Chain A
Amino acid sequence: MLRLFRNKRWWLLLVVMSVLAFAMSFTAKNNDLFNRFSLPVITAISPVQKVLSTASLTIKEGLGTIPEIFALKKQNEELLKQVRELEQYKQRFLEYQRENINLRSMLGLKQRNFQYELEAAEVIGRDPGNWFNVILIDKGENNGIKKDMAVITDQGLVGYTISVGKNYAKVLLITDDRSSVSAMIERTRDNGILKGTIDPAPRGYVKMVFLPQEANIVKGDIVISSGLGGIVPKGIVIGEVVEAKKEPYDLMQYAIVKPEVDLQKLEQVFVIKSQNGNQGGSNP
């Protein structure tokens, strides 16, 4: 043991480990200091990352379409059928909307506006490891983006910003183990919390926990954001229930949810900056 401590190399190893441990505890508390390190590095590499990211996504999409060619005719017929059905739904929806406006005005309720102030951003990089699900986008503080703002696509929720620099932002995807979003089942209005890929959800799926035991949840139910928690506005589509299970020794049940957005093929996203004039995100 004494011989071990006489060895300079072990001391050096210990010093490096201590310095890194100190850096971890210090930068975890001091976000501004951490951003001072991040800003020049990300600014320097982001143009190259942007080009490579776009090129690789184009190749990926190109490769993905080759096997799809054979199924295009059948898919086209199905889509035309769906368009006809959706046209009918649209008419019905417009009618309900008009009726809703009239009824709300009769009851004296404030009109709800689902218009968001969006900022379009491009995905310029992804977490290099296999454990975390973080993406890097090319817009930041200069474009009015703050920490804890919801990030969406035209299909649904992607995640929320966790760290913002002058011209970049890091987005925690909903599939990340550290992610947590308040959600509800659209049909039954049961509330729960949507967690990233944790036991027993398969990778790429999310788990909705704290659902009431008596909730009648079935496969195919749509999950939307509940608006609780203040980060993600209410009503954004998150995904579809693929499995619902009651926990045997608990008063709750959980559902495995397949995200609506293909998080592997993200190219362009929108950051929700505000809704109804209320600024999103946390103040610095």
Chain B
Amino acid sequence: MRMLAYFFIMVVLLVFQSTVMELFKIGGIKPDLPLVFALCCSLAKGENMGAFMGFLNGIFEDIIYGSFLGFNALIKFLTGYIQGYAARDIFKGPAIITMGLTFLGSIVYNIIFIFMSLIFNEIANPWYFFMPIVLPSALFNMIISPFVYYAVVKIERFFDYYFNVKY
């Protein structure tokens, strides 16, 4: 049931990302809300949850905007897993830690994306875009991460109460 709820949240975030987030575009770059949500889930709940949320985010992106299944799913699955695994023993209380980890997670995502693009020949010269895309998008993601992390913690508390305590 909890997974179904997260499934629904991810769909809503993806619809939001492809429509409303256009308003927050600066210089052609916008923050990746579903990715930040997946990264925050991996920080709050560990690598398995991060990988699952990354996978959900990626597979929806592939289905709606891609031309084949699995490209974004694999990239975001790996990003969620790596983020959760690497941040296992780090204390995630202060917002600055969340921001730093999200920044690094976004960089990891973009590096995996570049490698995958080279393998699948999706983009001709992805390294050229490292500075104009990777860094600004990672900074954007970093800025919104404390709010998303706070939301993830609140959602988790609500689910704990609703699914474990109430019933």
Contact = CB atoms under 8 A, between A and B. Distances in A.
B65 A170 contact: yes
Contacts, number: 135
A126 B16 CA distance: 10
Interface string A137-163: 000000000000000000000000011
A124 B25 CA distance: 17
B107 to A, nearest CB: 13
A130 B123 contact: no
Interface residues of A, number: 51
A27 B11 CA distance: 22
A38 B27 CA distance: 30
Interface in B19-34: 19-23, 25, 27-30, 32, 34
B120 A60 contact: no
Given A34-B68, A136-B64, A24 B25 contact: no
A45 B13 CA distance: 12
A37 B22 contact: no
Given A56-B20, A128-B34, A131-B123, A170 B70 contact: no
Query: SS class of chain A's interface: helix, strand, loop or mixed?
Result: helix
B32 A129 contact: yes
Contacts of B68: 23-24, 27-28, 34
Interface residues of B, number: 49
A210 to B, nearest CB: 15
Nearest to A129: B32
Nearest to A263: B28
Contacts of B129: 131, 203
Given A20-B73, A128-B21, A203-B132, 20 more contacts: A13-B81, A20-B70, A23-B73, A24-B71, A24-B74, A24-B120, A28-B67, A41-B64, A45-B64, A48-B15, A57-B22, A63-B23, A128-B14, A130-B32, A130-B133, A177-B122, A177-B124, A178-B122, A178-B123, A198-B125
